[in-house]
Structure 1
């Protein structure tokens, strides 16, 4: 279970990787299991880790509930269907990311050639009109 949010990275000596995995993997998973033990509604692991980070750093974590483009003026955004390369739809990815991990969400996201000219992000027609109009 700890492999979903791995803290291991290249360039770190093996003994440091082992200690990081023990500290951030095993300890957090065990505390998450104990926290959810016997509760009728269980907290997702991602939210549990974010709560720990907020408590330790005293800095709130900003989650993207609303699209960044929603705050911009809506008249400048144009739906362009003439993209050169295929992109992931940003709206579909954000919806899937709420329930799946990043790799699964990226695999299931629509691949499209349309994008918003102002934001320079890929959007399918449905997500573009939901987020911009």
Structure 2
């Protein structure tokens, strides 16, 4: 039987990631939200990302040598993964391989995240006028 999965090489090791229906149910039970919502928020929440990775690593026949989401997250960081653009991209790729979204939808989301991150950092490079509110300033009473 042929299975769809997202293939990812870290060092000399190949990993196969996908969310089975059981993995999706486990995420829904853990976070009390549907698995697509978990995918969409995982890059900004390391607990959700580690849980997503753990479920995506643990499917029958995966053959993955590492199946702990937190350990795998650290392996990703050790291989140079950083920031919301890369981690959200991985989450979206897993979602495509798992039938949660199309490749076109994932591409749109990746572009949107990249643009949002670029916009945030563009504001940091721009000098701010003394009377201008910071673009992401909190309110005080």
TM-score, normalization: structure 2?
Answer: 0.28
Larger radius of gyration: 1
Q: Which has more helix, going by share of residues?
A: 2
TM-score, normalization: structure 1?
Answer: 0.29
